[in-house]
A and B are shown apart, each in its own frame.
Chain A
Amino acid sequence: MTTPQRSDGLKPARLDPATLKQNFRDAYPPLDAHEATVAADRCYFCHDAPCITACPTEIDIPLFIRQIATGTPEAAARTILSQNILGGMCARVCPTETLCEQACVREAAEGKPVEIGQLQRFATDTLMAAGTHPFTRAASTGKRVAVVGAGPAGLACAHRLAMHGHDVVIFEARPKAGGLNEYGIAAYKAADDFAQRELEWLLQIGGIEIRHGEKLGAQISLATLQAEYDAVFLGMGLGGVNALGIPGEDKDHAEDAVDFIAELRQAEDLAALPIGRRVVVIGGGMTAIDAGVQAKLLGAEEVTIVYRRGQDAMSASGHEQEHAQHKGVRLICNAAPVGIEGNGSLTGVTFAYTETRDGKLVVTDDTFTLPAGQVFKAIGQTLSGAPDGLTLERGKIAVSDSGATSVAGVWAGGDCATGGDDLTVTAVAEGRDAAEDIHRTLMA
């Protein structure tokens, strides 16, 4: 039985199961072999290709595309995975329109880049479907490395270390590994349990043990890890969230967007997940977009994303903004929340329009209230529980280009560390590079 879309309150099953299934399937279906050949043929095999430079993991894009074009997608996958072990996930979640595809010369030429992301997916899917793992471990070095966090940074680091012959133990606070691949990425980007499938495939390298329910700062401490292991890598992401700091924030159904998404990602049955009739999302990043779109796909009648600055300042890419609008999500810019309304239960959010004066964002007296039964806060994640003794910079663990922290023997990468954007692909690059530095250090 479905709840009509217009009934108030938080209700499950606003849409019938078939529609839900349709809404949450793969948003960008994979290319078939012929489509891949055609797409691959568009690549010019550029000299010192700009797309490679634009990829945080520096995948040799022209080479892998040529390998697809010549009928060897497995070899293409190897080219990809040797630089980016989570090439399968990155193919699905990378904002390619601001990375490789933006730099593609065919974007400059005709506004239609080579479909690098989709081709990467074609290659990695082909290899993973074969169930093979193309890498083997070097002879054991006898060295042991502790990795904190089984997100993209931790997994990339662990895989590269294992390949070099080190033994790795990953300490992971949550019951499942994958980090935001498992708990954060929009469901329609990682459909069909891809995060877990990729994880299992990655672990085929061997030499990586994951211990769940072991949280740094609770069950374990940095000091013990330093004592028991030859090196430590911290890849714990951003566990905290920013608060709005406005009246009414503590009301029921004023939630953190990341929690909503995590719950949605873990839901066995999407029809059992309650969602409001009118939903307001506060923020302008990828998290805001994903929360808004998924609320809409769950059956919310009205979803509005409100961002305090202008649309061009949103950190979500133009492509993602369009995707949200295409799904029927409304975008309001230049408005900041000033109060969450409701006597007891939440009834709406009041916003004030903002202006930029002398480069500063100023809240005006001009206000409006959006009726809402549910609010998602998506105004940024923060580092929480960083071990004492590490130098921080702008709220993140300060690291060198190769991921070394201020403490000898401790490396960090991914969202919790400085350097690069908060993206899956950046986390992979940083985890990999830290592993190389750890390897060099341990073998010196």
Chain B
Amino acid sequence: MADLTTDFLGIKSPNPFWLASAPPTDKEYNVRRAFEAGWGGVVWKTLGAEGPPVVNVNGPRYGAIWGADRRLLGLNNIELITDRPLETNLEEIARVKADYPDRAMIVSIMVPCDEESWKAILSRVAETGADGIELNFGCPHGMSERGMGAAVGQVPEYVEMVTRWCKMYYDKPVIVKLTPNIADIRVPARAAKNGGADAVSLINTINSITSVNLDAMSPEPMIDGRGTHGGYCGPAVKPIALNMVAEIARDPATAGLPISGIGGVTTWRDAAEFMALGAGNVQVCTAAMTYGFKIVQEMISGLSQWMDEKGYKSTSDFVGRAVPNVTDWQYLNLNHITKARINPDLCIKCGRCYAACEDTSHQAISMSPDRVFEVQDDECVACNLCVNVCPVEDCITMETLAPGQTDERTGKVVEEAYANWTTHPNNPMAKAAE
């Protein structure tokens, strides 16, 4: 069986599956049970400064959207950082770490944006024996209104400054957790790197209103008739998170900066995808909150089976493997021509491909009176919409035209050579092809 042991910033864990800083890691009771269930590490629920802890709302904290059979697709929360006293958390962290030396124990921190506050808490955290810290620059609600969380994460200068303080007053690895509520994720990532961060982790939750109560005319979750935006997470945010991870991984300014991938990781496959795009490990929150700690067993067995199948001996064998293939649109090969192909043996004649192509694409699918659906090559632009709406997996596939074949739509012979927009005659800024 493949070896899932990961070394992230010198922190070893038996597998790359960590629990993200959130309710699953809120206290000793949870974290002990998570370790027993097999999680490789945890990022402890974010600690605040000494003094009276924050308070949470006493009404509903979560909103959600669902798919079929109430499968949870997206979760939204308006919870704040830990609402338990700092001392309690520190004692518990020390105790659990001592009992589970082989697991990663990272402490998430968010204190006011001044050097003294950070200095004060860092020494206390160091005493716990935890393996590292994560700076929560992401919380998009509540804390940001008080100048913390996303309010820091959205200002690159602050990110750099606070990171630098942490590197100054703390010896072990510093991970900077980024907020996705920003136009260009590369900017805060560069700032973190400039401040000396050992790694970035992303994404934190996305500003969101999950639904509106149409009787009360208030956003949900509704507290006494009013609501506020919350942070969105779960399967629905994965595509956004993957892109942000990839952007950082392929940015020359941050290339090589370790990444902990977060956002919608629900299965081993999600984890493998984040890691292929450059994440050294992943963090999970919503999936655990939805199904409980046991899901890590599927993640472990699934990832190792896949690694065995692919011949990967350790996770480092495939981390970042997909990064070189992430490129800009302008470098995509315009001479790569495909056509949709419908497999009549698999087709169940629902007509969705027809409706989609006829109404909203290129009128490239014909429908006979006895419901035989066929792609008309002279119209098909290979947009892939039919593939995406067909309910039968692999029923419609994209067939690549070999060089020398004629594209019936354009009447042009497919060329073997790669050619992209930068040299295309329609591009006013095209460089002359040599």
Contacts and interface: CB of A to CB of B under 8 A. Distances in A.
Q: Do A and B bind each other?
A: yes
B68 A46 contact: no
Contact of A45 (B70, B348, B352, B371): B352
A438 B180 CA distance: 66
Contacts of B350: 44, 46-47, 49, 105
B352 A106 contact: no
B68 A50 contact: no
A105 B352 CA distance: 11
Given A47-B354, A50-B371, A108 B69 contact: no
B392 interface: yes
B101 interface: no
A46 B348 CA distance: 10
A320 interface: no
A45 B70 CA distance: 19
Contact of B348 (A37, A48, A106): A106
A442 B88 CA distance: 87
Interface residues of A, number: 16
Most buried by A among B67, B69, B348, B355: B348
B362 interface: no
Main secondary structure, interface of A, reads helix
A44 B349 contact: no
A109 B392 contact: yes
Interface string A99-136: 00000011011000000000000000000000000000
A41 interface: yes
A49 B367 CA distance: 13
A38 interface: yes
Contacts of A50: 349, 371
B351 to A, nearest CB: 3
Contacts of B344: none
Interface string A15-49: 00000000000000000001001100110111111
Contacts of B355: 47
B351 A49 contact: yes
A50 B352 CA distance: 12
A108 B391 CA distance: 13
A49 B391 CA distance: 14
Interface string A43-85: 0111111100000000000000000000000000000000000
Nearest to B354: A47
A257 to B, nearest CB: 39
Interface string B348-379: 11111011000000000001000100000000
A108 B68 contact: no
A274 B172 CA distance: 89
Nearest to A69: B68
A50 B372 CA distance: 13
A106 B350 CA distance: 9
Contacts of B351: 46-49
Contacts of B349: 46, 50, 105, 108
A34 B70 CA distance: 9
A50 B354 CA distance: 14
A46 B352 contact: yes
B68 A109 contact: no
Interface in B326-355: 348-352, 354-355
Contacts of B352: 44-47
Nearest to B371: A50
Nearest to B373: A47
B193 to A, nearest CB: 46
A34 B71 CA distance: 12
B163 to A, nearest CB: 46
A106 B348 CA distance: 7
Contacts of B348: 105-106, 108-109
A52 B70 CA distance: 28
A44 B70 CA distance: 18
Given A47-B351, A47-B354, A109-B348, A38 B68 contact: yes
B391 A41 contact: no
Interface string A163-206: 00000000000000000000000000000000000000000000
A161 B371 CA distance: 36
B12 to A, nearest CB: 44
Interface string B372-396: 0000000000000000000110000
Interface string A251-283: 000000000000000000000000000000000
Contacts of B67: 41
A49 B70 CA distance: 26
Contact of A41 (B68, B354, B392): B68
B69 A44 contact: no
Most buried by B among A37, A44, A45: A44
Contacts of A108: 348-349
A34 B69 CA distance: 8
A310 B68 CA distance: 43
A109 B348 CA distance: 6
A110 to B, nearest CB: 9
A209 B352 CA distance: 46
Interface in B39-72: 67-70
Interface in B194-213: none
A44 B348 CA distance: 11
A108 B352 CA distance: 15
A250 to B, nearest CB: 53
A38 B70 CA distance: 8
A238 to B, nearest CB: 35
Nearest to B69: A38
B248 to A, nearest CB: 37
6 contacts: A44-B352, A46-B349, A47-B351, A47-B352, A48-B367, A108-B349
Interface of A: 34, 37-38, 41-42, 44-50, 105-106, 108-109
Given A41-B68, A47-B352, 19 more contacts: A34-B70, A37-B69, A38-B68, A38-B69, A42-B68, A44-B352, A45-B352, A46-B352, A47-B350, A47-B351, A47-B354, A47-B355, A47-B367, A48-B367, A49-B350, A105-B348, A105-B350, A106-B348, A108-B348
Q: Nearest 7 A-B pairs (CB), nearest first?
A: A47-B351, A47-B355, A41-B68, A109-B348, A105-B348, A46-B350, A105-B350
